[in-house]
Amino acid sequence: MNTPQDTATWHPVARSAELRPGANIVAGFAEGQELALWRAADGTAQAWENRCPHRSVRFTLGQVIDNRLACAYHGWQYEAGSGQCTSIPAHPAMQAPRNVCAKTFGTAEAAGILWVNLSPEAPPVPDELRDAVPGGWHFCRTLTVRAPAATARAALVQHGMTAASPGWRGRLGGAETLALVLDAQPGLAFIHLWTEAAPGSSAMKAVHAAARQLRTDIEALPRG
């Protein structure tokens, strides 16, 4: 069986539910790479470098127009999937230059998560991603942890969790819990938590309390 490190090239950057078709643009990070996350009107999830290739303005300031992403500065529009520039509103009669293209990254949606691969050519999606969250489990919360991802992973082991590719699994607050760790930036990690505890139950409240303590414990660990 693969370890979480074996599938670490696929980063759990955000919950799929956060992206609405043809609507919002969500900021994300993976290994220090700033991302613009959005969903085209046809439903396909996109993860792009958060920089317009024209004047380097962040795409997260722009808007989704059908299956295109429009920059907020000059309104240049880029096609979902390829990232190819398709329209320059200031010069509607001019054909968009073929060499202007947003940098795009491989995406996969599995277990309610948008996964991003930063490799130039994303490898096939591992089966472990599709089966990451046990059936019937519920999303608990995402912890923002001011510590390196390696420190967060070590702390999960110290709390009795074991590797269960692509995450870590064990008891948190007395309930079985799954943790997916995102290496967002140097010194910053996100931990997405799912649990067998039912929403609104006392067991879920116990998991939330344990998660808050987990974050405190991680941030208190020495780094190096």
**Domains (ranges, CATH) in the chain?**
4-127 (2.102.10.10), 134-220 (3.30.70)
Distance CA 54, CA 66 (A): 21
Q: Provide the angle, in degrees to the nearest 10, between the axes of the packed helices 149-158 and 202-220.
A: 120
Residue type (1 letter), 41: A
Query: What was the pLDDT predicted at 95?
Result: 77
More confident residue, 105 or 96: 105
Q: What is the pTM of this model?
A: 0.90
The Cα 114–Cα 74 span in angstroms is 29
pLDDT, mean of residues 31-59:
96
More confident residue, 8 or 35: 35
- Encoding tokens for residue 1? 């069986």
The pLDDT assigned to 159 comes to 92
Distance CA 100, CA 87 (A): 11
181-218 pLDDT, tens digit each:
999 999 999 999 999 999 999 999 999 999 999 999 99
User: Which tokens hold the place of 175?
Assistant: 């309930």
- Measured over the CA atoms of residue 148, residue 110, residue 63 and residue 9, the dihedral's sign is positive
**Do 101 and 4 touch, CB atoms closer than 8 A?**
no
What is the amino acid identity at position 7?
A: T
* pLDDT more than 70, % of the chain: 96
Q: Is pLDDT above 90 for 162?
A: yes
In the prediction, which pLDDT does 3 show? Answer: 42
pLDDT for res 91: 79
Q: Taking 60 as the threshold, does the pLDDT of residue 7 lie above it? A: no
User: Which pLDDT tens digit goes with each residue over 20-44?
Assistant: 998 899 999 999 999 999 999 999 9
Neighbour-count burial for 88-116, b at 16+ CB within 10 Å, e otherwise: beeeeeeebeeebebebbbbbbbbebbbb
> Token pair of 79, please?
């096609």
